Amino acid sequence: MVKREQWGSRIGLILAVAGNAIGLGNFLRFPVQAADHGGGAFMIPYMISLILLGIPLLWIEWALGRFGSKKGHGTAVAVFDYLWKNPVAKYIGLLGVLIPLAVVVYYTYIESWTLLYSFFSLIGKLPSTPVTENVSDYLKPFSHFLVEKTGQDASGLFLTPALETYIFFVITLLINLYILYRGVSAGIEKVAKYAMPLIFVMAIILMIRVFTLSSPDGRNFLDGLGFLWNPDFSALTNPKVWLAAAGQVFFTLSVGFGAILTYASYIKPKDDIALNGLAGASVNEFAEVILGGSIAIVASVIFFGIPATAMIASNGAFNLGFMALPAIFANIPYGEFFSFLWFLLLFFAGVTSSIALCQPAIAFLEDELGFSRQKSVLALGIFLFIAAHIPIFIKGALDEIDFWVGTFGLVVFALFEAVIFFWIYNSKEAWKELTRDNDIKIPYFFYYIMKYIAPGLLIIILISWSIEMLP
């Protein structure tokens, strides 16, 4: 067997893991979810989900990955098979390859829009309507501007992307494949070392610019921050807000995809997971609630006010980031530059995440099927290129996959991780495996959270979801 790759350094590993977690979820999805679910009302379930679900499940995924590294395997296929002597185990483990693979099909497509938009901002060609009092402009369904308006056929089923859209998608895909082809340490880790500092610099510049905006009728950044940070207890009894908050925590921490498991499988079998996991999560949360929470929402509240911001967010995942924000920037001096920066930030955050979504498939092909790296990347490239035609050409496909795989699938897979480790394998052994060789001690009460509370909450989430889906 070929020797498996490893991370080059600890700081490189932490940056790569932070790059994995910090993505479109932090800067696009979080503001939309928060604004759509009441701002301050969203943050309480969010924080509770982070502690009771996010962090414990993250540690479980790290432990499963480190367990895999001992055996030379980087996906849940082999790990579940070791832990559970049942022929179905490896098929359930396959979800940890298929979920990120399905997500990356549309994730790279959205990522390619960000590259396209940053390029068009740079050359001053991003069409944007001046900000008016009339927010209805930002409430229209978002079809990114290069999906030709006339492109929808009579059945309304298909989209026709403009050539630029298609070209930028291919460029984005090739960038991802090239990084993966360079490998774990010379590709993923190296990119993270450059991209992560840049992401922070760009986000901080944007945050400062947004904080110095004000509206003619006197709204400033405090109004925006107040919307997000004034706790509002009124919505705590609404299960929808809880589901959205838990879903966001999973998505942003990259938990329940199998992607953290794969990254963790490239550490040395006796390396720490507790501190690495916590460090990655902390950097991610800083990027999410502080930086992500201070750009799109705050800018929109200053320009449009709170009710309109909530309405824009409720009208789709992209209206805030792709429609309202560029329009705001178009109305300030050097706006093209800030718009360019915003989309470039999204692109960098996107790339370091999409490669993480791809890596489980690469690990599967290498570790389980014995493919070389070149062959794995080629196979993945062909698959992604073909599969991407579904969200590119079929209307509504993106949202559909995002719900079934990128939201529902995560919860199911995370539940399997916790149950297979703590219930089917052995909870004492699982705890031992999780807490060995770490640089910090995981407090013992997490044992109970991991064994009872987290799986229990996941089951409640799944049941409430099913009830909501009923007609």
Q: What angle do CA 239, 245, 246 make, to 5 degrees?
A: 90
Whose Cβ is closer to ligand PHE: residue 357's or residue 430's? 357
* Nearest-approach distance from CB 254 to ligand PHE, in angstroms: 3
Query: By CB under 6 A, which span of 70-78, 130-138, 351-359, 382-390 interacts with ligand PHE?
Result: 351-359
Q: Is 394 helix (H, G, I), strand (E, B) or coil?
A: strand
**Distance between start and end Cα atoms, the chain:** 52
* Contact call for residue 23 and ligand PHE (CB under 6 A): yes
Query: By CB under 6 A, which span of 129-137, 253-261, 273-281, 449-457 interacts with ligand PHE?
Result: 253-261
* Contact call for residue 25 and ligand PHE (CB under 6 A): yes
- The interface with ligand PHE within residues 429-448 (CB under 6 A) comprises none
State the binding string over 96-135 for ligand PHE (x if CB under 6 A, else -): ----x-----------------------------------
Tokens 């928060």: give the residue: 34
* Nearest-approach distance from CB 23 to ligand PHE, in angstroms: 2
* Contact call for residue 188 and ligand PHE (CB under 6 A): no
Q: Cα–Cα distance between 123 and 120 in angstroms, integer?
A: 5
* Nearest-approach distance from CB 125 to ligand PHE, in angstroms: 27
Whose Cβ is closer to ligand PHE: residue 60's or residue 308's? 60
Among 112, 176, 294, 353, binds ligand PHE (CB under 6 A): 353
**Whether the Cβ atoms of residue 96 and residue 357 lie closer than 8 Å to each other:** no
* Nearest-approach distance from CB 20 to ligand PHE, in angstroms: 5
* Contact call for residue 21 and ligand PHE (CB under 6 A): yes
Q: Cα–Cα distance between 418 and 312 in angstroms, integer?
A: 37
* Contact call for residue 33 and ligand PHE (CB under 6 A): no
Query: By CB under 6 A, which span of 1-9, 55-63, 246-254, 456-464 interacts with ligand PHE?
Result: 246-254
* Contact call for residue 227 and ligand PHE (CB under 6 A): no
* 197 alpha-carbon distance from chain centroid: 18
Q: Is 468 helix (H, G, I), strand (E, B) or coil?
A: helix
* Contact call for residue 20 and ligand PHE (CB under 6 A): yes
Among 121, 128, 252, 265, binds ligand PHE (CB under 6 A): 252
Backbone angles phi, psi at 237, to 5 degrees: -90, 0
* Contact call for residue 413 and ligand PHE (CB under 6 A): no
Among 117, 257, 266, 431, binds ligand PHE (CB under 6 A): 257
Tokens 């298609």: give the residue: 166
State the binding string over 354-393 for ligand PHE (x if CB under 6 A, else -): --xx------------------------------------
* Per-residue buried b or exposed e for 151-189, using 16+ beta carbons within 10 Å of the residue's own CB: eeeeeeeebebeeebbebbeebbebbbebbbbbbbebbb
Q: Is 312 helix (H, G, I), strand (E, B) or coil?
A: helix
* Contact call for residue 26 and ligand PHE (CB under 6 A): yes
Closest CA to 274 of 58, 96, 429, 18: 58
**Whether the Cβ atoms of residue 118 and residue 347 lie closer than 8 Å to each other:** yes
* Contact call for residue 261 and ligand PHE (CB under 6 A): no
Residue-wise DSSP of 56-90: HHHHHHHHHHHHHHHHT--SHHHHHHHH--STTHH
* Contact call for residue 405 and ligand PHE (CB under 6 A): no
* Nearest-approach distance from CB 347 to ligand PHE, in angstroms: 12
* Nearest-approach distance from CB 251 to ligand PHE, in angstroms: 6
* Nearest-approach distance from CB 28 to ligand PHE, in angstroms: 8
Q: Cα–Cα distance between 22 and 200 in angstroms, integer?
A: 10
Q: Is 319 helix (H, G, I), strand (E, B) or coil?
A: helix
Q: How far is CA 234 from each of CA 94, 274, 352, rounded to the nearest angstrom?
A: 41, 35, 37
Structure tokens at 85: 């002597």
* Contact call for residue 277 and ligand PHE (CB under 6 A): no
**Whether the Cβ atoms of residue 188 and residue 180 lie closer than 8 Å to each other:** yes
Whose Cβ is closer to ligand PHE: residue 96's or residue 335's? 96
* Contact call for residue 254 and ligand PHE (CB under 6 A): yes
Q: Cα–Cα distance between 181 and 179 in angstroms, integer?
A: 5
Query: What is the torsional sign of CA 344, 322, 22, 71?
Result: negative
Query: What is the torsional sign of CA 22, 24, 27, 29?
Result: negative
Site size toward ligand PHE, by CB under 6 A: 15
* Contact call for residue 259 and ligand PHE (CB under 6 A): yes
Whose Cβ is closer to ligand PHE: residue 23's or residue 277's? 23
Q: Which residues pair with 147 in a beta bridge?
A: 161
Residue numbers of the site for ligand PHE (CB under 6 A)? 20-21, 23-26, 100, 251-252, 254, 257, 259, 353, 356-357
